Chain A
Amino acid sequence: MAQPLTKEGPDPETRRVAPLPPVLRGFLWAAIGFIVFAALAAWLDPSRVSPYITAVGAVAGWFGAMIGWLLGIGGYEHVVKPMMGYPSPAVRTSGWRRYYEYALDHKVIGIQYLGASTGTFLIAGLIAMAMRFQLMSYRPTLFHYPQNYLNAVGIHGTLMMFTVATVAMVGGLGNYFVPLMIGTRETMFPKASGMSVWLVPLGVLTVAMSPLLGQWTTGWRGYEPLASSDGSGLLYYYLGVFALTTSSLIVAINLTATILFKRTRGMTWNRLPLFAWGILTVSLLNIIWLPEIQTTFVLGMLDKVMPLNLFNVFGQPLGYEYLFWLFGHPEVYIVVLPALAIWSEIIPVMGRKSLFARPIAVLGLVFVMLLSGMVWAHHMFTMMRFSEMLPFSFFTEMISIPTGFAYLAVIGTLWNSRLRLTTPTLLVLMSMFNFLIGGLTGLFLADVPANLQLHNTFFVVGHFHYTIIGGMVFSWMAAMYYWLPKFSGRTYSEFWGKLGAIWVFVAFNATFLNFFILGLHGMNRWVSVYPKYLQPENFWTSIAAFFLGAGFAINIIHIVWAWMKGPKVKENPWDAKTLEWRTSSPPPTKNFDTLPVVVGSFYTYGEGVPDPVEIPVSEMETKGSPG
């Protein structure tokens, strides 16, 4: 990456304050922080025989490392010193280095989030490949002991959920596009946002390195009371997730405030783009539920460090499970709401047709948000009292009604449209197919008598991969292809885009349809060894999974290539109407020369429909009429 530094940047100021590249300095300060805090813990610990790294020391050291990391990455100059009256140093605004430093521009931060999510997707995806490799045989091969495998499952699940599924479309696409789409130059709290993104690599490293502290076997849910007797690596699971959820919480607060207070003139609630609605509902969910899971994890961690007997037979053995799923179910809607919103964003543009039943589409998002807090215990049918089964199955089934509204709006729009079958369109249609299977298999799981058989089998694993990969990852890919011209002014190759889409679609279904069959055949979750009769089916499932992994790699390489080297493309290649397309690609640091004014709906097409956007007249000379 020998891109020459352009004229505008980097300004000499930044050079002077950061003698080391910020990431390196962050690492160094983190190490110092760890040593200092761990030493403090060792000093306070009355036991003279305990080793240097104790459970308490590892936790204290981690907080030292977090502080060191955040200060070293730029918090010292950009946050702490200005608070004491020093001037804020300038932030690099061009060149590749700005992605590895503290940033204030929501677009840079969005790309930082996207990069972190993609990198983690690769790490957790490689772990999935290793798991599938193990499952090709019914006896131990790659993972010699079950705890190795179980730890891999836990890391895979934790990273995928807290760094990919909940982050890519919110911290990533949300940060990048919401301010552009609502017509503002910056987010509400850019400084906090610039810090929050650096919690992601910290959290990922913490979770990924946790086995060093002691292998843990609970999976991503950290079920008690197993957790309290399980390996000490769980401490770093709690702390890693703490960093990741704090990051998402800051994103949620920032984007909610931005949407509430920074919309441009004329951007009424009735005109707010669907994607912004999706991010708003998700952010409200995050603001409600992330503190809840953080509190739960603090309890779990305290219980582990100093036995408080909160969740074992002296306390409430099922207490943790209820608290976990109270957050855990809304979490799945946190994952999928932005995906559903993206469908309504892309299909009207590609179909040249007005969005059908827009109020219903918005209501669907809102009602899913409201209902999602009422269904949690459907993950616990095998644990609960009989009297709880009927209400929880009721709300669970009812939530499919507002979820269906997303389909209602898209199907109504597709009907009689002039659909351009581009890669993003194709991926949205595939996502609709996959999520449909995820939703329909949910009906079986919500049926309590059947749930008593299907629970904790691969049927469930198939179900949630269909909703998360099928719903969220496919929509994420659709969004990446759709917005690629916006990110970089370049575009992808339709051939490779379509090939990549079809490849992952086929491989995905070949892999995960098998999960349902495996589950019905009696394959349970969290097993590295299993009865021999399941081997042939598992073998072919793994082969398909390897193709799926390769398919994701192809798409990622293609997107990166298109971003850097793809053919240049005109500014608004899809003829979309939303505001992000009313500025150059990539957008300038301050997004718009003149803030656009909204005078109509972005989702209305047809002959003689007036342009929904006006650029104030006095400044017409700075910006020609929008293309």
Chain B
Amino acid sequence: MGSLVVFGILWIVGSLLGEWGATAWIDSAPNGTGPYFGTASNLGLVGVHAFDFLIWVAVPIFVFVVLMILFAMFKFRARRDENVTNAPSQVRNNKAFVGTWIVISILLNLLIWLHPNASGLEQVFAAQLPANNPKPVVIDVTARQWEWIFSYPQYHITQSLNASGQDTLYMPVNRPVKFVLRSYDPFHSYAHQVDVIHGFWIPAFGVKYDVIPGETRILYLTATKLMSTETNPMARVQCSEVCGPGHPYMEANLHVVTGSQFAAWAKAQAARG
């Protein structure tokens, strides 16, 4: 009984300390983005909330098992010179303990499935409804071995390039963007033999979606922060699914700019042809 009380107290204290440390970590950056980083979009914010919530769930479980391991190592340890003796207690079952364990583990799993998972997915699904994305900037994203090509049909930009001729993604902040993801485009010849899966990932936005041969997939996304690859290396387009030797190099620069900057940029790009 004594050990049980000590264990209980230590567990509660340890969990509280752990939660305090976790919260400090989470709050070490604004909006609870501490350990997560990928939060500069509406979808990334859903992810970070899930992540933070799961940290809080995980802490007491972690402390429980680690404390048990430490108890085993220090409290229940047989003294070195002691002869091998049987443990004084030989409890082989404890209905209360087993029952509580099973009920708690079922409830906990149901909980985290409902929240943050299902609740977060609800937000993700809602964010993908065209009705919730009025007047989006349409960006056709083409993933090829090994290049990202960005076209802006509304602005008559067939391939957005920077001054040194590299593909570049520009998007306005706080305005919905409709990414049309596919692996072929009208401007290049298509070779089905080398059409492979790529992953459209912007680490800073906290979201990725794969580009599947033969399919056109749509991803609605709203960037919530001004940023560019030059100032934040996580603000980049990176292929996340292995796609052959060029995979590590399959990245593109990203610029999230204000609405007026975007308009100016689009005009200049369109003028380039």
Contact = CB atoms under 8 A, between A and B. Distances in A.
Given A225-B197, A408-B98, A524 B120 contact: no
Given A217-B244, A229-B194, A449 B121 contact: yes
Interface in B61-81: 61-62, 65-66, 68-69, 71-73, 76-78
Nearest to A443: B54
A417 B92 CA distance: 12
Contact of A449 (B50, B82, B210, B239): B50
Contact of B87 (A398, A529, A605): A605
Nearest to B92: A354
B273 interface: no
A353 B206 contact: no
Contacts of B94: 356-357, 412
Interface stretch (A9-17, A32-40, A253-261, A389-397): A389-397
A520 interface: yes
B64 to A, nearest CB: 9
A417 B72 contact: yes
B233 A531 contact: yes
B247 interface: yes
Contacts of A417: 72, 76, 87
B90 interface: yes
B92 A356 contact: yes
A126 interface: no
Given A146-B247, A226-B243, A383 B210 contact: yes
Interface string B97-118: 1100110011001001100111
Interface string A383-424: 100100110011001101100100110011011111111000
A414 B197 CA distance: 48
B44 interface: yes
Interface in A531-555: 531-533
Contact of B113 (A219, A394, A412): A394
A182 B35 CA distance: 50
Contacts of B209: 382, 452
Contacts of B243: 226
Interface in A140-172: 145-147, 149-150
A429 interface: yes
Interface residues of B, number: 91
A598 interface: no
Contacts of B123: 449
Nearest to A408: B101
B86 A607 contact: yes
Contact of A448 (B62, B121, B194): B121
Contacts of A386: 121, 125, 128
Contacts of B203: 453, 522
Given A225-B213, A606-B86, A312 B120 contact: no
Interface residues of A, number: 90
B38 interface: yes
Contact of B65 (A382, A398, A436, A447): A436
Contact of B120 (A147, A412, A448, A606): A448
A448 B234 contact: no
Given A313-B195, A353-B86, A419 B242 contact: no
Nearest to B90: A606
Nearest to B119: A449
A525 interface: yes
Nearest to B61: A440
A416 B87 contact: yes
A128 interface: no
A162 B67 CA distance: 35
B69 A453 contact: no
B234 A521 contact: yes
A452 B39 CA distance: 12
Contact of A421 (B77, B92, B98): B77
A419 B193 contact: no
A592 interface: no
B118 to A, nearest CB: 6
Contacts of A415: 3, 68, 71, 76, 91
B87 A217 contact: no
A450 B54 contact: yes
A39 B119 CA distance: 62
Nearest to B52: A450
Contacts of A225: 195-197, 213
B245 A147 contact: yes
Nearest to B248: A527
Contact of B240 (A389, A444, A455): A455
Interface in A422-481: 429, 432-433, 436-437, 440, 443-444, 446-450, 452-453, 455-457
Nearest to B200: A382
A187 interface: no
Given A383-B212, A419-B77, A449-B50, A527 B247 contact: yes
A314 B244 contact: no
Nearest to B69: A429
Contact of B242 (A226, A383, A433, A447): A226
Contact of A217 (B77, B101, B245): B245
Contacts of B204: 522
Contacts of B3: 415-416
B8 to A, nearest CB: 13
27 contacts: A146-B247, A147-B244, A149-B248, A150-B245, A217-B245, A217-B247, A226-B197, A229-B194, A357-B94, A357-B98, A382-B209, A383-B197, A397-B113, A411-B65, A411-B68, A415-B91, A419-B77, A420-B77, A443-B112, A448-B121, A449-B124, A520-B36, A520-B37, A522-B234, A524-B239, A529-B248, A607-B86
Among all A-B residue pairs, the 6 with the closest Cβ atoms:
A522-B203, A313-B214, A527-B248, A449-B120, A147-B245, A353-B87
Given A223-B241, A418-B85, A525-B240, 9 more contacts: A146-B249, A223-B242, A317-B212, A416-B88, A419-B77, A449-B43, A450-B54, A452-B209, A524-B201
